[in-house]
Amino acid sequence: MKLIDWIASSLRAKLLTMFIILTCVPLIVVGLVSYKKSFNTVYGNSKASSMIAGEQLARDIDLLFEDTGKLLELGNDPRVLHFLFSQSDTYSDAKDILKTMDAYLDTYTDESVLNISIINLYGRGISERRGVFQLDKNPLRNPHFVYLTNHPDDILNIPPTQSSPLDRLDGFLYQNSNVISIMTAVKQRITHEVIGFIVIDIDDSVVSRSIDGTTLGESGFFYVADANGVPIFSPTGRLAGQLPSASDVIVQSDRHYIDSSHGKPKFIFSAQSPRTGWHIIGYVPLQEIVKEANSIRQMIIISVILSIMFAITLHFFISSKLTRPVQLLKNKMQLAASGYLEAKVITSGKDEIANLSNSFNTMLEKIKHLLDQSLKEHEAMKKAELRALQAQINPHFLYNTLDSIVWMAEAGRNKQVILLVEALSKLFRISLSKGRDWITLEKEIEHVHSYLIIQQMRYRDILDYEIDVDPALNGFSILKMTVQPIVENAIYHGIKNKRGKGLVRIVGCSTPEKEILLMVEDNGAGMSAERLEALQRNLKAQLLPEETGKEVSGGFGLHNVEQRISLYYGEQYGVTVESTAGIGTKVMIRIPMREELSQ
């Protein structure tokens, strides 16, 4: 819903949506169709090449058995026929047969042939390994010999999973049975009766090497199964029990299928060896044979993404000429609505949007002018009110001071009278300051000093004071009557409520932030935590003019000082109060350094 609302609320979003739909949807459709066609093509080619590799492996095995099978021609040799008929051959006859075997081996085959054996129906035989021998058991008890007796024209290929026929008869020739036996019957030339058998044992590693030497993808492999689908040759590193079943693929009409029953899909196919009847089974993950199709898919995806990016870029380039001025004007209006009246629109061109932007700028100028006029009137009103408050002189303070002068004069204390009159004169002269709001810090401290002299003469038994202001700050300007109200608060609310003599201490210094820090500290009665919290909470509050004069007797108090500092310096400056009941109060005034005096 948020996406729909965003599209509905933005002209640019609508243009972008239409642009993407009109440009990207056709690209995505074309990409999907292209990928489907490329996948089918790559899959067909990879499937065909994999099956060709399996068929080639089957032909190689056929050639191996065809070459080795030529040794079966020994059954036509007269000496072999004589040996099978005779029961009393001489040593020279046996030697001639063995030489004939060697001659055939040199002519037709290689070192893969382990042994050639000739045996008659009575168990008497001759072989390269054993020479002339006699079997302990009747050869016709062996199922292979029985089969050849009934089918004398057939050739049997016995895999290593079945032991050699001679091993099964006497358990002597091959203890490990890692051989492939090729055998056929020997027939009498005239009657064609079976008179014996020829058995050729070859090393099964010749088939294993062919399997291991034929690669299939990155992790695919071949193995050989018999006519029933039972594995008889497995690749190096894989046990027969770990091989997938071949029974499913050999019954397929097209001799291949995709297995998705366990994990990722696998492509399984078979090729048959006509001479042996064995099946060459290929097993490879489908992902590997369609790897090129995946690369094409990635290229299509990248092409579609680049096309979308290009379409979006083109959209922004075009829409910026249409919607950017409207969007800019909208943003500026939002800024103006939030109170930022400097949000003017920089116009270019002479169209309707440019005219609207100029009208918006004119409206902002008029609003700013009205606000400035209102602020000036309000500021002038507050200044007038504060000046009226500042001009008020507490009559009780003046009456008490004049009374003090009178009784000092009557007592003949002329020096004290002169000092008190001078202090009062300086106090009023600096308070008036020819109507100026700003005086130097030196004059402000002199004004406070005069006030403290008068108060000390009145309260000489309970009041003492110290002034420690950095002389380097004397030339900086300050609002008149900034420190005196704080000192007045310290005397009337701190020292007068304390038993014994009190001390008012005034300290002035500069800070690293180029500010002036003035502290008025007393050791008077202090304030409780509740009263201090209420004072701090109300210190920043806007009070009416008549309320400020009520805060302390004879002055316009902390609130007035805080308001004046905020008005003239800014809200980041002002007054901070710290106090502890029974210990005293510290008031800190923080103002910026200003060297020039201004009205």
The highest-level CATH class for domain 392-592 is alpha beta
Give this prediction's pTM: 0.46
Place of tokens 């029933």: 228
Contact assessment for residue 441 and residue 516, using Cβ atoms and an 8 Å cutoff? yes
Q: What angle do CA 216, 182, 202 make, to 5 degrees?
A: 65
509 forms bridges with which residues in the sheet? Answer: 517
CA distances to 438, 543, 560, 566 from 382, in Å: 16, 11, 11, 12
- End-to-end CA distance of the chain: give it in Å, rounded: 60
pLDDT at 516: 93
Q: What was the pLDDT predicted at 538?
A: 78
Distances (CA, A) of 496 to 129, 172, 448, 459, 528: 134, 130, 18, 9, 17
pLDDT of residue 169: 47
Hey, what CATH topology would domain 77-207 get? Beta-Lactamase (3.30.450)
Distance CA 14, CA 412 (A): 98
Q: Which of 483, 484, 490 is nearest to 451 (CA)?
A: 484
pLDDT attached to residue 590: 93
> 3-state class of 111 per DSSP?
coil
pLDDT score at 552:
37
What's the CA gap between 102 and 133, in Å, rounded?
Answer: 18
Contact 479, 563 (CB under 8 A): no
Angle, in degrees to the nearest 10, between helices 395-410 and 441-458? 60
The pLDDT tens digits along the chain (599 residues) read 566 766 566 666 777 777 777 777 787 788 788 778 877 887 788 788 888 888 888 888 888 877 777 778 777 888 888 788 776 666 777 788 888 787 777 776 566 788 888 888 888 888 877 788 888 888 888 888 888 889 888 888 888 766 556 654 444 445 445 788 888 888 887 888 888 888 888 887 878 888 877 777 777 888 888 878 888 888 877 766 667 777 777 777 778 888 877 778 888 888 888 888 888 888 888 877 777 777 777 887 888 788 778 877 877 777 666 667 777 777 778 777 777 777 777 777 676 777 787 888 888 888 888 888 888 767 766 665 555 455 455 666 777 778 778 878 877 887 888 888 888 888 777 777 666 778 899 988 998 998 888 888 888 778 889 999 999 999 999 988 889 889 988 888 888 888 788 899 999 999 998 999 999 999 988 888 888 888 888 776 655 444 444 443 333 578 778 888 888 888 889 899 999 988 999 999 999 988 755 44
Query: Residue ranges of the domains in the chain?
Result: 77-207, 338-381, 392-592
pLDDT at 12: 66
**pLDDT value, residue 571:** 82
Instruction: Give CA–CA dist 46/218, Å, rounded.
Output: 13
Pairing of strands 463-469, 438-440: unpaired
The dihedral sign for the CA sequence 16, 21, 25, 27: negative
Q: Are strands 463-469 and 502-510 parallel, antiparallel or unpaired?
A: parallel
Handedness of CA 486, 488, 489, 494 (dihedral sign): positive
